[in-house]
Amino acid sequence: MSSEMVLLVKGRAGLGNRILSLLTAVLYARLTRRHLLVDWSDDIYSSDGTNSIHDFFRSHLFSRSDEIPETESVAPAIWRGHLRDSARTMVWTYLPRCLGDPMSWRKFSADLSRIDHQEEVLVMWTYFPLINEQRRHFRGEFSYLCKLDEEAILSRLMRENLDLDPSIQEGVTRTRAGWPARPTVGVHVRHTDKRSRLDAIQARVGKLLAAEPELQVFLSTDNRDVEEEFRRAYPGLLTAPKWYPDEGQRAMHGSPGCPDKKANGVEALTDLYLLAGCDRLILDKSSAFSYVASLLSDQPPERIHDLQRWSALPPRLRHGLWRFGMSLKWGPRRLWTRLGV
Protein backbone atom coordinates (compact mmCIF):
# COMPACT_ATOMS: atom_id res chain seq x y z
CA MET A 1 0.00 0.00 0.00
CA SER A 2 3.04 2.28 -0.12
CA SER A 3 1.95 4.01 -3.34
CA GLU A 4 -1.65 4.56 -2.21
CA MET A 5 -2.91 7.91 -0.95
CA VAL A 6 -3.95 7.44 2.67
CA LEU A 7 -5.87 9.27 5.38
CA LEU A 8 -4.77 8.11 8.83
CA VAL A 9 -7.14 9.04 11.65
CA LYS A 10 -5.84 8.68 15.20
CA GLY A 11 -7.87 7.92 18.30
CA ARG A 12 -8.11 10.56 21.03
CA ALA A 13 -10.30 11.04 24.10
CA GLY A 14 -13.50 9.09 24.73
CA LEU A 15 -15.79 7.10 22.50
CA GLY A 16 -18.07 9.96 21.44
CA ASN A 17 -15.20 12.21 20.36
CA ARG A 18 -13.52 9.32 18.54
CA ILE A 19 -16.62 8.52 16.56
CA LEU A 20 -17.14 12.17 15.56
CA SER A 21 -13.49 12.36 14.47
CA LEU A 22 -13.84 9.10 12.54
CA LEU A 23 -16.98 10.27 10.74
CA THR A 24 -15.15 13.46 9.77
CA ALA A 25 -12.37 11.30 8.34
CA VAL A 26 -14.85 9.06 6.50
CA LEU A 27 -16.27 12.05 4.65
CA TYR A 28 -12.84 13.42 3.75
CA ALA A 29 -11.59 10.03 2.58
CA ARG A 30 -14.61 9.71 0.30
CA LEU A 31 -14.20 13.25 -1.06
CA THR A 32 -10.52 12.71 -1.86
CA ARG A 33 -10.56 9.00 -2.79
CA ARG A 34 -8.00 8.30 -0.08
CA HIS A 35 -7.77 4.95 1.67
CA LEU A 36 -8.92 5.29 5.26
CA LEU A 37 -6.69 3.92 8.03
CA VAL A 38 -8.00 4.05 11.60
CA ASP A 39 -5.55 3.76 14.49
CA TRP A 40 -7.16 3.24 17.88
CA SER A 41 -4.21 1.33 19.33
CA ASP A 42 -3.58 3.94 22.05
CA ASP A 43 -4.05 2.99 25.69
CA ILE A 44 -7.55 4.38 26.23
CA TYR A 45 -9.37 1.33 24.87
CA SER A 46 -6.44 -1.03 24.35
CA SER A 47 -4.26 -2.58 27.05
CA ASP A 48 -1.87 -4.41 24.73
CA GLY A 49 -1.40 -2.05 21.77
CA THR A 50 -3.88 -3.83 19.50
CA ASN A 51 -6.09 -1.64 17.33
CA SER A 52 -9.41 -1.54 19.19
CA ILE A 53 -11.38 -0.12 16.25
CA HIS A 54 -11.56 -3.65 14.84
CA ASP A 55 -13.00 -4.97 18.10
CA PHE A 56 -15.73 -2.34 18.05
CA PHE A 57 -16.80 -1.74 14.44
CA ARG A 58 -16.89 -3.29 10.98
CA SER A 59 -16.68 -1.16 7.84
CA HIS A 60 -16.13 -1.53 4.11
CA LEU A 61 -13.73 1.41 4.38
CA PHE A 62 -11.08 -0.16 6.62
CA SER A 63 -9.81 -3.63 7.47
CA ARG A 64 -7.97 -5.49 10.20
CA SER A 65 -5.26 -6.26 7.62
CA ASP A 66 -4.50 -2.57 7.02
CA GLU A 67 -0.96 -1.48 7.89
CA ILE A 68 0.48 1.99 8.38
CA PRO A 69 2.87 2.63 5.47
CA GLU A 70 6.54 3.56 5.75
CA THR A 71 6.97 6.93 4.06
CA GLU A 72 8.35 10.42 4.54
CA SER A 73 5.57 11.92 2.43
CA VAL A 74 3.43 12.94 5.40
CA ALA A 75 1.31 15.93 6.41
CA PRO A 76 1.40 17.53 8.88
CA ALA A 77 5.18 17.19 8.78
CA ILE A 78 5.34 16.77 12.57
CA TRP A 79 4.17 13.16 12.04
CA ARG A 80 7.16 12.16 9.89
CA GLY A 81 8.82 9.24 11.60
CA HIS A 82 5.97 9.07 14.13
CA LEU A 83 3.09 7.51 12.19
CA ARG A 84 2.77 4.69 14.72
CA ASP A 85 2.77 7.01 17.73
CA SER A 86 -0.50 7.88 19.45
CA ALA A 87 -2.05 11.34 19.32
CA ARG A 88 -1.59 11.67 23.08
CA THR A 89 2.11 10.78 22.82
CA MET A 90 2.58 13.42 20.13
CA VAL A 91 0.87 16.13 22.19
CA TRP A 92 2.86 15.10 25.27
CA THR A 93 6.11 15.24 23.27
CA TYR A 94 5.61 18.47 21.34
CA LEU A 95 2.98 20.44 23.28
CA PRO A 96 3.11 19.13 26.87
CA ARG A 97 1.54 22.27 28.26
CA CYS A 98 -1.46 21.75 25.96
CA LEU A 99 -2.19 18.13 26.89
CA GLY A 100 -5.68 19.03 28.07
CA ASP A 101 -6.33 21.75 25.48
CA PRO A 102 -9.20 20.68 23.19
CA MET A 103 -7.80 22.82 20.36
CA SER A 104 -4.38 21.12 20.40
CA TRP A 105 -5.51 18.85 17.55
CA ARG A 106 -4.96 21.69 15.06
CA LYS A 107 -1.18 21.30 15.15
CA PHE A 108 -1.46 17.56 14.52
CA SER A 109 -4.19 17.42 11.90
CA ALA A 110 -4.09 18.07 8.17
CA ASP A 111 -6.21 20.96 6.91
CA LEU A 112 -9.44 19.28 5.88
CA SER A 113 -10.77 22.38 4.15
CA ARG A 114 -8.35 21.51 1.33
CA ILE A 115 -8.58 18.46 -0.92
CA ASP A 116 -5.42 19.13 -2.93
CA HIS A 117 -2.83 17.73 -0.49
CA GLN A 118 -0.08 15.92 -2.41
CA GLU A 119 1.44 14.00 0.50
CA GLU A 120 1.01 10.24 0.46
CA VAL A 121 -0.25 10.11 4.07
CA LEU A 122 -2.45 12.70 5.73
CA VAL A 123 -2.88 12.41 9.49
CA MET A 124 -5.79 13.85 11.44
CA TRP A 125 -7.73 13.73 14.67
CA THR A 126 -10.17 16.13 16.23
CA TYR A 127 -12.56 16.40 19.14
CA PHE A 128 -15.17 18.08 16.94
CA PRO A 129 -17.00 17.05 13.78
CA LEU A 130 -15.42 19.02 10.92
CA ILE A 131 -18.15 18.59 8.33
CA ASN A 132 -18.77 22.22 7.48
CA GLU A 133 -15.06 22.76 6.84
CA GLN A 134 -15.44 20.38 3.88
CA ARG A 135 -18.76 21.74 2.62
CA ARG A 136 -17.37 23.78 -0.27
CA HIS A 137 -16.22 20.52 -1.88
CA PHE A 138 -19.74 19.04 -2.04
CA ARG A 139 -19.85 18.92 -5.83
CA GLY A 140 -20.65 16.29 -8.44
CA GLU A 141 -21.61 13.00 -6.84
CA PHE A 142 -21.47 14.66 -3.41
CA SER A 143 -23.76 17.60 -4.30
CA TYR A 144 -26.67 15.91 -2.53
CA LEU A 145 -24.93 16.72 0.77
CA CYS A 146 -25.37 20.48 0.20
CA LYS A 147 -28.99 20.31 1.37
CA LEU A 148 -28.18 18.43 4.57
CA ASP A 149 -27.10 20.01 7.85
CA GLU A 150 -24.13 18.72 9.83
CA GLU A 151 -26.18 16.40 12.05
CA ALA A 152 -27.94 14.83 9.07
CA ILE A 153 -24.62 14.24 7.29
CA LEU A 154 -23.02 12.70 10.39
CA SER A 155 -26.02 10.45 10.94
CA ARG A 156 -25.94 9.28 7.33
CA LEU A 157 -22.19 8.67 7.41
CA MET A 158 -22.51 6.55 10.52
CA ARG A 159 -25.39 4.45 9.22
CA GLU A 160 -23.74 3.87 5.84
CA ASN A 161 -20.17 3.22 6.93
CA LEU A 162 -20.01 1.86 10.50
CA ASP A 163 -21.56 -1.39 11.68
CA LEU A 164 -21.32 -2.43 15.30
CA ASP A 165 -19.19 -5.54 15.85
CA PRO A 166 -21.55 -8.56 15.66
CA SER A 167 -20.69 -9.79 19.15
CA ILE A 168 -21.46 -6.36 20.65
CA GLN A 169 -24.66 -6.08 18.59
CA GLU A 170 -25.71 -9.48 19.89
CA GLY A 171 -25.22 -8.26 23.46
CA VAL A 172 -27.29 -5.13 22.76
CA THR A 173 -30.08 -7.19 21.20
CA ARG A 174 -30.05 -9.71 24.06
CA THR A 175 -30.17 -6.97 26.71
CA ARG A 176 -33.05 -5.17 25.01
CA ALA A 177 -34.96 -8.45 24.60
CA GLY A 178 -34.85 -8.87 28.39
CA TRP A 179 -36.62 -5.56 29.01
CA PRO A 180 -40.37 -5.42 29.70
CA ALA A 181 -42.38 -4.74 26.55
CA ARG A 182 -43.06 -1.09 27.32
CA PRO A 183 -41.93 2.20 25.77
CA THR A 184 -38.61 3.38 27.14
CA VAL A 185 -37.07 6.77 27.79
CA GLY A 186 -33.28 6.68 27.59
CA VAL A 187 -31.38 9.06 29.86
CA HIS A 188 -27.68 9.87 29.62
CA VAL A 189 -25.91 11.47 32.59
CA ARG A 190 -22.16 12.14 32.45
CA HIS A 191 -21.28 13.05 35.98
CA THR A 192 -17.84 11.82 37.10
CA ASP A 193 -15.56 14.42 35.51
CA LYS A 194 -17.92 16.75 33.62
CA ARG A 195 -21.04 17.33 35.64
CA SER A 196 -24.31 17.14 33.71
CA ARG A 197 -27.26 19.28 34.78
CA LEU A 198 -28.60 16.52 36.99
CA ASP A 199 -31.47 18.55 38.47
CA ALA A 200 -32.68 19.57 35.01
CA ILE A 201 -32.43 15.99 33.76
CA GLN A 202 -34.37 14.60 36.72
CA ALA A 203 -37.02 17.30 36.36
CA ARG A 204 -37.50 16.42 32.69
CA VAL A 205 -37.72 12.71 33.49
CA GLY A 206 -40.36 13.44 36.14
CA LYS A 207 -42.35 15.63 33.77
CA LEU A 208 -42.24 13.00 31.03
CA LEU A 209 -43.27 10.17 33.38
CA ALA A 210 -46.17 12.25 34.71
CA ALA A 211 -47.43 12.70 31.13
CA GLU A 212 -46.69 9.11 30.07
CA PRO A 213 -46.84 6.83 33.15
CA GLU A 214 -46.28 3.71 31.03
CA LEU A 215 -42.70 4.77 30.24
CA GLN A 216 -39.81 2.85 31.78
CA VAL A 217 -36.38 4.46 32.27
CA PHE A 218 -33.07 3.27 30.88
CA LEU A 219 -30.07 5.05 32.39
CA SER A 220 -26.63 5.38 30.81
CA THR A 221 -24.15 7.01 33.18
CA ASP A 222 -20.49 6.98 34.17
CA ASN A 223 -21.23 7.49 37.86
CA ARG A 224 -22.25 4.83 40.39
CA ASP A 225 -23.87 7.36 42.75
CA VAL A 226 -26.06 8.67 39.94
CA GLU A 227 -27.22 5.14 39.14
CA GLU A 228 -28.06 4.49 42.79
CA GLU A 229 -29.97 7.78 43.01
CA PHE A 230 -31.97 6.95 39.88
CA ARG A 231 -32.66 3.43 41.14
CA ARG A 232 -34.19 4.86 44.32
CA ALA A 233 -36.25 7.36 42.35
CA TYR A 234 -37.42 5.09 39.53
CA PRO A 235 -38.32 1.50 40.55
CA GLY A 236 -37.61 -0.92 37.72
CA LEU A 237 -34.77 1.24 36.38
CA LEU A 238 -33.05 -0.38 33.40
CA THR A 239 -29.25 -0.35 33.14
CA ALA A 240 -26.52 -2.37 31.45
CA PRO A 241 -23.79 -3.82 33.71
CA LYS A 242 -20.52 -1.90 33.67
CA TRP A 243 -17.40 -1.08 35.66
CA TYR A 244 -17.43 2.31 37.42
CA PRO A 245 -14.41 4.42 38.39
CA ASP A 246 -13.98 5.34 42.03
CA GLU A 247 -15.26 8.67 43.27
CA GLY A 248 -12.96 11.53 42.33
CA GLN A 249 -11.27 9.71 39.45
CA ARG A 250 -11.04 11.01 35.91
CA ALA A 251 -13.38 10.22 33.03
CA MET A 252 -14.30 6.55 32.82
CA HIS A 253 -12.31 6.06 29.60
CA GLY A 254 -9.18 7.61 31.15
CA SER A 255 -9.34 6.16 34.64
CA PRO A 256 -6.08 4.50 35.76
CA GLY A 257 -8.09 1.97 37.74
CA CYS A 258 -9.87 0.47 34.73
CA PRO A 259 -9.30 -3.33 34.90
CA ASP A 260 -10.04 -4.05 31.21
CA LYS A 261 -9.87 -1.23 28.69
CA LYS A 262 -11.35 -3.16 25.78
CA ALA A 263 -14.26 -4.29 27.97
CA ASN A 264 -14.73 -0.67 29.02
CA GLY A 265 -15.15 0.25 25.36
CA VAL A 266 -17.60 -2.60 24.76
CA GLU A 267 -19.66 -1.47 27.77
CA ALA A 268 -19.70 2.10 26.46
CA LEU A 269 -20.84 0.97 23.00
CA THR A 270 -23.53 -1.23 24.54
CA ASP A 271 -24.86 1.76 26.49
CA LEU A 272 -24.65 3.96 23.39
CA TYR A 273 -26.70 1.66 21.16
CA LEU A 274 -29.22 0.83 23.91
CA LEU A 275 -29.67 4.55 24.48
CA ALA A 276 -30.11 5.25 20.77
CA GLY A 277 -32.76 2.51 20.50
CA CYS A 278 -35.04 4.06 23.13
CA ASP A 279 -38.43 5.58 22.28
CA ARG A 280 -37.49 8.91 23.84
CA LEU A 281 -34.17 10.44 24.82
CA ILE A 282 -33.21 12.89 27.56
CA LEU A 283 -29.62 14.03 27.21
CA ASP A 284 -27.22 16.94 26.86
CA LYS A 285 -25.69 17.15 23.38
CA SER A 286 -22.71 19.11 24.68
CA SER A 287 -21.54 15.60 25.62
CA ALA A 288 -20.11 13.91 22.52
CA PHE A 289 -21.52 10.59 23.75
CA SER A 290 -25.04 12.04 23.95
CA TYR A 291 -24.60 13.71 20.58
CA VAL A 292 -23.63 10.43 18.90
CA ALA A 293 -26.59 8.66 20.56
CA SER A 294 -28.90 11.25 19.03
CA LEU A 295 -27.28 10.69 15.61
CA LEU A 296 -28.01 6.97 15.90
CA SER A 297 -31.58 7.44 17.06
CA ASP A 298 -34.50 6.90 14.68
CA GLN A 299 -36.77 9.10 16.77
CA PRO A 300 -38.12 12.45 15.48
CA PRO A 301 -36.67 15.63 17.01
CA GLU A 302 -39.65 16.16 19.33
CA ARG A 303 -38.82 12.89 21.11
CA ILE A 304 -35.19 13.88 21.73
CA HIS A 305 -34.99 16.22 24.72
CA ASP A 306 -31.68 18.11 24.50
CA LEU A 307 -30.97 19.85 27.80
CA GLN A 308 -27.78 21.67 26.87
CA ARG A 309 -28.10 25.32 27.81
CA TRP A 310 -27.73 26.61 24.28
CA SER A 311 -30.10 24.16 22.56
CA ALA A 312 -32.34 27.02 21.37
CA LEU A 313 -29.49 28.61 19.41
CA PRO A 314 -28.83 27.80 15.74
CA PRO A 315 -26.50 24.75 15.46
CA ARG A 316 -23.55 26.62 13.91
CA LEU A 317 -23.65 29.36 16.56
CA ARG A 318 -24.03 26.74 19.31
CA HIS A 319 -21.05 24.80 17.96
CA GLY A 320 -18.98 27.96 17.60
CA LEU A 321 -19.66 29.06 21.17
CA TRP A 322 -18.72 25.64 22.49
CA ARG A 323 -15.45 25.62 20.57
CA PHE A 324 -14.68 29.19 21.67
CA GLY A 325 -15.22 28.36 25.33
CA MET A 326 -13.17 25.18 25.08
CA SER A 327 -10.33 26.99 23.30
CA LEU A 328 -10.06 29.24 26.35
CA LYS A 329 -10.20 26.15 28.61
CA TRP A 330 -13.42 27.38 30.18
CA GLY A 331 -15.58 24.43 29.25
CA PRO A 332 -19.28 24.79 28.38
CA ARG A 333 -20.46 25.47 31.96
CA ARG A 334 -17.89 28.23 32.62
CA LEU A 335 -18.56 29.74 29.20
CA TRP A 336 -22.20 30.24 30.05
CA THR A 337 -21.32 31.63 33.47
CA ARG A 338 -19.08 34.22 31.84
CA LEU A 339 -21.78 35.09 29.33
CA GLY A 340 -24.21 35.60 32.22
CA VAL A 341 -26.55 32.83 31.09
Nearest to 33 by CA among 149, 140, 182, 192: 140
**H-type helices in the chain, by residue range?**
15-32, 53-56, 87-94, 105-108, 150-161, 166-177, 198-211, 224-233, 261-276, 288-296, 315-327, 331-338
**CA terminus-to-terminus distance, the chain:** 52
DSSP 145-174: GGGS-HHHHHHHHHHHH-EE-HHHHHHHHH
Average pLDDT estimate for 274-300? 94
Strands 163-164, 280-283: pairing is: unpaired
Average pLDDT estimate for 112-138? 94
Q: Is the pLDDT of residue 341 over 80?
A: no
**Region for 225 from its dihedrals, namely left if φ exceeds 0, alpha if ψ lies in -120 to 50, beta otherwise:** alpha
pLDDT band at residue 107 under the 50/70/90 scheme? confident
**CATH class for the region spanning 166-308:** alpha beta
**H-type helices in 117-260, by residue range?**
150-161, 166-177, 198-211, 224-233
Nearest to 191 by CA among 230, 228, 222, 234: 222
pTM: 0.87
pLDDT band at residue 331 under the 50/70/90 scheme? very low
pLDDT band at residue 190 under the 50/70/90 scheme? confident
pLDDT of residue 317: 57
Average pLDDT estimate for 124-135? 92
Average pLDDT estimate for 188-202? 79
Q: Which of 90-94, 155-159, 227-231 bottoms out in mean pLDDT, i.e. has the lowest?
A: 90-94
Q: Which DSSP helix (H) or strand (E) runs through 124? A: strand 121-124
pLDDT band at residue 329 under the 50/70/90 scheme? very low
Residue pair 283/308 in contact by the 8 Å Cβ criterion:
no
List, by residue range, all CATH 3.40.50.11340 domains of the chain. Answer: 6-164
pLDDT band at residue 95 under the 50/70/90 scheme? confident
Cis status of the peptide bond prior to 76, with omega within 30 of 0: yes
pLDDT band at residue 260 under the 50/70/90 scheme? confident
CA distance 273 to 172: 7
pLDDT, one tens digit per residue, over 234-244 is 989 999 998 88
3-state helix, strand and coil shares in percent for the chain, rounded to the nearest 5: 45, 10, 45
Q: Is the pLDDT of residue 106 over 60?
A: yes
For the domain covering 6-164, report its CATH number: 3.40.50.11340
Which span out of 179-193, 213-227, 323-337 was modeled with the highest average pLDDT? 213-227
Average pLDDT estimate for 5-28? 95
Strands 163-164, 57-58: pairing is: antiparallel
pLDDT, one tens digit per residue, over 140-151 is 999 999 999 999
pLDDT band at residue 170 under the 50/70/90 scheme? very high
193 φ/ψ angles, rounded to the nearest 5 degrees:
-110, -30
296 φ/ψ angles, rounded to the nearest 5 degrees:
-80, -20
Burial profile 111-137: b = 16 or more Cβ within 10 angstroms, e = fewer: ebeeeebebbbbbbbbbbbbbebbeeb
List, by residue range, all CATH 3.40.50.11350 domains of the chain. Answer: 166-308
Average pLDDT estimate for 17-26? 96
